[in-house]
Structure 1
Amino acid sequence: MVVIHYTAMDSAQEALQRLCDPQHEVSAHFLIGSDGKLWQMVREKDRAWHAGAGEWHGQADINSRSIGIELDNRGDHPFAEPQMMVLERLLTALLHRWKIPPNGVIGHSDMAPGRKLDPGSRFDWLRLEHQGLAKPRGSGELPQTVELPEFINLARKAGFTANVDDQTLLNTVRLRYRPWATGPLTPHDLTPLIRKTGSS
């Protein structure tokens, strides 16, 4: 899989120094600056220390089965157009080279709910989905009613299998699909998780 992060630092150079400093025990395969500059720090076939504890679709040890991409962004502003264009080109190449399905492109928060928030509420997941670079959200009909067990079941089927409490799970799914949403569970929280009959 591919895990997308934001650096939460003030500059790409600052992030680069951190990611290349053995003292910090953190690394990633790629870093993309806000201006679109691309650095590769770890070979794709090698393990990088970018994900930490977490789970996606029942698989743990994400570091051993993923490529980590860091984006120069503090998490409080939109991602720059040159940066997104380079990310799209990189993802296209990685998915083809490693035969990664769109469902394998996730945010750090998806696999580490409650512990991580990146790439955050300002990241444009729909943009990637429209290009086949991330799994498209469900387009099923809006349910008339909603029950928590149904939401949990749908979320786990979608890949959110980390062991967290119900509220953290809701917050995590919303961060990916409806970052503006607040308050109790609603039918709109289920819609992105519902696949049309006959769709994969």
Structure 2
Amino acid sequence: MNEEREAILAGEWIRYFHLYPIHPDAEPFAFVYHIQPGRTGAIFLTSAFPLHSAVVSMLERQFFVVEGVDMAAGEDATRVTTLVKAKAHPALAGAFHALQEIEAFATNAMKQKRAPGTVSVYQAPRNAYSRNGDPFVYLRWFRFSEDRRLSAFLLSNGGVQVFVNNEFELRWFDENHKFLVRCNGVCEMIGDNTFALAPAINHLLYDAF
């Protein structure tokens, strides 16, 4: 159980997310997320990008490409290339430049001490170099409830993460071991039969689409 709680609190989870661009007059073309230090990902929302998503790591000089996500088979088409090759590749250049722009936005926000998006209620301390060389963890899909109180995410490492009205989160790898995580790092196991929001969360995850 201690190892499971350690994975829930200190594992690879979404640290912040937002649509981009965030200007009210602009149509968003990407859903941006940050899971691993030094790596920024984006799921592309328009047909202008011929791929599902990508993750850029400026420190590692790598560009991780998710060409497609197969939810039925559980197998995704992914590959890693260099920044130089991504910039020169006709099918990847647009995504490369988009993520450069997104990285600049996030850097500027942090310099101004502004959160670049909706921030996780609890983040284990990390530094930008702590995951260099590790396998890339990426976002497979995301869903929002109609009132935006619930935001649900499925990660490539099998983790499910649900933001609840920016007050707390649910995180789990096993359907039978769901944890509620609070901002002070306290996590407690919950059950669907006793958790009031369980029906709404299950509807979002399994019935809404």
TM-score by length of 1: 0.28
Between structures 1 and 2, the one with greater helix share: 1
Q: Comparing both structures, which one devotes a greater share of its residues to strand? A: 2
Considering Cα pairs closer than 8 Å and 6+ residues apart, tell me whether 1 or 2 has the greater RCO.
1
